[in-house]
Chains A and B, each alone.
Chain A
Amino acid sequence: MTSDVEFRNVSKFFGTHAAVDNISFSVPAGSFFSLLGPSGCGKSTTLRMTSGFEFPDRGDILIAGENMAGIAAYRRPTNMVFQRWALFPHMTVFDNIAFGLSVERQPRDIIRRRVGEALELVGLTQFASRKPRQLSGGQMQRVALARALVKRPKVLLLDEPLGALDLKLRMQMQLELKRIQREVGTTFIYVTHDQGEALTMSDQIAVMNNGRIDQLGSPQEIYDHPATRFVAGFIGNANLLPVQLAAEGAGRSAGMATVSMGGFTFPTQIAQEPTGDKGWIVIRYERIRVGDAARAMPIRTQARVRDAIFAGSTVHYVMAIEPAGTEITVETGHDGLSSPLMQGSLVDIGWEPGVTRLFGDV
């Protein structure tokens, strides 16, 4: 598959601090690619280097096979949707969208037609003569999208474009963005700190941490098989529990190890080989079964309910695993009929051996 954007060993320093630390990745043409991470992880710098607002100190950036070294932002085949949309306040919606085309000195009728198409794509045809301040957040967001797409960029860059919208609107725009991406077939590079957003929209996600890419993969790969402790903790809700490894070689088979936690011994998948005899396992809240469902699980123990948090469709329990009292959080579905478990009650909990992942002690 051809790649639209390729980073080769790219680093960017601000002073002595490496904002982006030797990263390499390639984005397949026509895909929805997300850069996900907490603030300060280097995702925005990565995006700004792609758009040409920043230049790498080391390494190469290729767009559509062409090296972008020394090529200014206004000469790159990329367009950007800005965090707060950056619409030109003194121009109408039409003029905002037409700006990129009029810079290219396109004929008037072509501008009118293409702006019309772009307005239609985002469903804002009747707002063409409005000024940005007369629009709602969601509408401004669509104008920003239309303004960037009207230039037919090879790659569309989106810098947390939904961050300023409220939750309901954000969900709706996620679906719409995905629809538009399918419709135009342009490569999208999407920067976000919202894991839910990245999981629902992306074909591929690069999870960034401290200027590096911790893991690159499909949403499911990243969710089910986090490569580092950071990824496991950042995406979804997961318990991080300290464990003791069984004696050298004992209980080892094809990617599995035996660990114990306060006397409770069980097998786990290895994600990262620990250097010593201590490590951490990660298990997601919703992978733990409770009560009757737990009894069918190969790995089983008992835990005491310390706290129950009702969240509508789910219930979160904070439990202490017997006998050592290691705290673990469990998420169960709520059926709308049964009442949640009582505080202080002793229940069975259990899980499949494949759902825990072992990480080193770093």
Chain B
Amino acid sequence: MLAPSLALMLYAFVLPMLTFFEYSFYTFRRGKLLDEFSLTTYRRFLFDAYYQTIVLDTLWMATLTTLLALAIGYPLAFALWRLERPWMKRWLSLIIFSPIIVSVVVRSYGWIVLLADQGPVNWILKTSGLAAEPVTLVFNLVGVVLSLAHVFLPFVVFPIYSSMSRIDPALREAAMDLGAGWLRTFRSITLPLTLPGVVAAVQIAFTLALGAFVTPAMLGGGRVLVLPLQVYNATAEINWPVAAVGGLVLLVIAIIVVALCNRLLKYSEA
């Protein structure tokens, strides 16, 4: 039973990875790919300020996106958990799910319209007197982070919600019975017991943000150069070594994040 899927994995995943790995040691000179062993590309990624900035920007964008998604997602999960009427629960989960129902291109255009200088958000800011000049919300990091956090909501809300619904309701009553008010109960009981859900959410949101391509391309306006875009540009120039090392860096970061989260998960469940 396992053999077909293993074969597929081998052919579609492991083999290309190995090929990619091989390409990462090739040389790219004057627009040409040369079959010449070198570590130049690795060296550039490690020490060249241009590539360092791209890696750091990617991490920064993924971090901001994860934090924003958590900041919106945790309260939403809490609301979903506390809602008593089933129809309200149904509607709220539908709303939380809606971003992944809509195509990424359509959704991105929606955000462009919404966040544009003449868009509704800026109109509200202007008429309410919060901003005299239009605030640049799109074609920069702000737009990318907002849009990504939006689409990651279901991936953040549902793991957290599931860890909340596993909490025995008597635990919160016990905390209150022992003199803890709402806030203390949340801090000492609900939050620690939902940490596994939070860690799982971080894991998903962060790794998804690392690999995001369409959203940074459309909403970044060329000003948000993240690794997947760099990889794409490199392949367009048939600069296979840069594309390969870029891809490998993404993979290594993702592995580190997943490993860290797994460690945290083990710790938070102990």
A contact residues vs B (CB 8 Å cutoff): 51-53, 72-75, 78-80, 82-84, 86-90, 99-100, 103-104, 147-148, 151
Chain B interface residue count, CB cutoff 8 Å, equals 17
Inter-chain contact B176/A72, CB cutoff 8 Å: yes
B165-186: contact bitstring with A at CB < 8 Å (1 yes, 0 no)?
A: 0001011011111111100100
A84 x B180 contact (CB < 8 A): no
Note all chain A residues with C-beta closer than 8 A to B177: 51-53, 73-74, 78-80, 148
Complex formed: what's the CA distance from A83 to B168 in Å?
A: 12
**CA separation between A82 and B184, bound complex, in Å?**
20
Q: Is the CB of B168 within 8 A of A74?
A: no
Q: List 17 A-B contacts (CB under 8 A).
A: A51-B177, A73-B173, A74-B177, A74-B178, A74-B181, A82-B170, A83-B170, A84-B168, A87-B174, A88-B171, A89-B171, A99-B175, A100-B178, A100-B179, A103-B184, A147-B174, A151-B179
The distance in angstroms between the C-alpha atoms of A177 and B174, with both chains bound, is 20
Q: How far apart are the CA atoms of A265 and B171 in the complex, in Å?
A: 59
State the Cβ distance, B133 to closest chain A Cβ, in Å.
Answer: 49
Interface segment among B54-62, B70-78, B84-92, B187-195: the answer is B187-195
Return A240 CB to nearest CB of chain B, in Å: 38
Which residues of A have CB within 8 Å of B178?
A: 74, 79, 99-100, 103, 147-148, 151
Whether the Cβ atoms of B179 and A86 lie closer than 8 Å is no
Chain B: minimal CB distance from A257 (Å): 50
* Residue pair A104, B179 in contact (C-beta under 8 Å): yes
| Residue numbers in A under 8 Å from B179 (CB-CB) | 74-75, 100, 103-104, 151
Q: How far is the CA of A148 from the CA of B179 in the complex (A)?
A: 11
Contact flags (1/0) for B220-253 with A, using CB distance below 8 Å?
A: 0000000000000000000000000000000000
Contact B192 A82 (CB under 8 A): no
Known contacts A103-B178, A103-B179, A104-B179; A86/B170 CB under 8 A: yes
Closest A residue to B184 by beta carbon equals A103
A82 touches B173 (CB 8 A): yes
- The distance in angstroms between the C-alpha atoms of A145 and B42, with both chains bound, is 62
Chain A residues near B175: list those with CB within 8 A: 88, 99
Given A74-B181, A99-B188 in contact, is the A84-B170 Cβ separation under 8 Å? yes
Known: A100-B179, A103-B184, A151-B179. A90 touches B193 (CB 8 A): yes
- Known contacts A74-B179, A104-B179, A151-B179; A88 and B184 CB within 8 A of each other: no
Report B-chain residues with C-beta under 8 Å of the C-beta of A86: 168, 170-171, 173-174
Query: Which residues of the other chain, B, contact A87 by a CB distance below 8 angstroms?
Result: 174
Residue numbers in A under 8 Å from B192 (CB-CB): 90
A224 vs B270: C-alpha distance when bound (angstroms) = 53
List, in ascending order, chain B residues with CB within 8 A of A148's CB. 177-178
| Cα A72 to Cα B189 with chains together (Å) | 18
Most buried by A among B170, B171, B179: B179
Query: CB-CB < 8 A to A147: which residues of B?
Result: 174, 178
Interface string of B70-113 (1 = CB under 8 A from A): 00000000000000000000000000000000000000000000
3 closest residue pairs by CB, A with B: A100-B178, A86-B170, A86-B174
Chain A residues within 8 Å of B180, by CB: 74, 99, 103
Contact A73 B171 (CB under 8 A): no
Complex contacts, B181 vs chain A, CB 8 Å: 74
Q: A74-B179, A82-B170, A147-B174 are in contact. List 8 more A-B contacts (CB 8 A).
A: A73-B173, A73-B176, A86-B173, A86-B174, A88-B174, A100-B178, A103-B178, A104-B179
CB-defined contacts of B171 to chain A, threshold 8 Å? 86, 88-89
CA distance A88 to B167 in the complex (A): 10
Chain B residues, Cβ within 8 Å of A53: 173, 176-177
Query: Complex formed: what's the CA distance from A99 to B178 in Å?
Result: 7
Note all chain A residues with C-beta closer than 8 A to B168: 84, 86
With A and B bound together, what is the CA distance between A240 and B105 in angstroms? 78
* Bound form: Cα–Cα A100–B176 in Å: 9
Residues of B contacting A151 in the complex (Cβ-Cβ under 8 angstroms): 178-179
A54 to B180, CA, bound (A): 17
**Residue of chain B at shortest CB distance from A79:** B177
Complex partner residue of B189 from A78, A79, A82, A88, CB under 8 angstroms = A88
